[in-house]
Amino acid sequence: MGQGSGPAHRLSHEERLELQRRVRAGETHLEAAMAVGCSAKSVQRLLEKTGEVKPRTKPQSALRLSLPEREEISRALVAGDSCHLIAQRLGRAPRPSREVAAGGARAQYRAWRADGAAHRRAHRPKPSKLVTCARLRREVERGLKRRWSPQQIAARLVRDFPDDPEMRVSHCNASAGNGVSRR
C-alpha cells in the first residue's frame, strides 16, 4: 500500500517492529514504508508515538550570544562595568552595547528577556509565497475571480505548471496565510 492508494489497515505488531528495525538500521522512512507496505507518514507517526523521533533542533550559531553570555552581561552591568570591558571579558567584539540597547536601558537589561527576544527575532515566519511570487499570486487571483475553491486552484496550478515547483500552493492552513484564502 502506498500513500492513499487503498483502504487503511492497522500495522501488526510484527510490522511495527520491522519498521523500527529498518529505521534504526539507517533506512529512510520511505524505504522502510515501501518494504512493509505502508506510507512514510505511518512510519513517522509510529516513531513519534514510540518516542524514536527526536524533535529537530537547529544548532545556535557561534556568532550569536548564548544565555550564559547574556547572564554575564547582566551581572556585569549591575556591577557597573562598561560594555567594552564586558566584550573583552567575553572574548567578543564590542557587541554588548548593541545587545543592551536592544534590551532597553542598562538598568532594565535582563538576560532571560533579551534571550527570548533574540530567539523570537531569529524565528520570525517567512513571507507567504503569494507575497513573494507575483506570478503565483496572479494565477491564484484569477482562480478566485472565477469563484474556484482553494482545492480547485491548487489542483489547477499543478496541472497548468507541472514542472514548476514555484507555482504550487497549499489549500490547507489558508487562515495562517500559507495558502489560498477566499477572503
Kindly state the cell numbers that stand for 129.
Answer: 509565497
pLDDT score recorded for residue 176:
38
Do both 71 and 111 map to the same domain?
yes
Q: What distance in Å separates the CA atoms of residue 108 and residue 103, rounded to the nearest whole number?
A: 7
Q: Which residues touch 20 (CB under 8 Å, ≥6 apart)?
A: 46, 47, 50, 52
pLDDT score recorded for residue 112:
85
Write the pLDDT tens digit of every residue in 105-150. 667 788 888 888 887 777 667 777 888 899 999 999 999 999 999 9
Q: Is the pLDDT of residue 2 over 60?
A: no
Do both 72 and 114 map to the same domain?
yes
Nearest to 177 by CA among 129, 115, 112, 143: 129
The total number of structural domains in the chain stands at 3
Do both 108 and 73 map to the same domain?
yes
Domain assignment of residue 183, yes or no: no
Asked if 65 and 118 touch (Cβ cutoff 8 Å), the reply is yes
Q: Which residue range is the domain that position 35 belongs to?
A: 13-49
Asked if 156 and 143 touch (Cβ cutoff 8 Å), the reply is yes
Residue with cell 500559507: 178
Domain assignment of residue 60, yes or no: no
Do both 116 and 133 map to the same domain?
no
Q: Which of 76, 100, 122 marks a domain boundary? A: 122
Do both 117 and 133 map to the same domain?
no
Write the pLDDT tens digit of every residue in 58-88. 677 788 888 898 899 889 888 988 888 888 8
Say if pTM beats, i.e. exceeds, 0.75.
Answer: no
Q: What distance in Å separates the CA atoms of residue 46 and residue 40, rounded to the nearest whole number?
A: 10
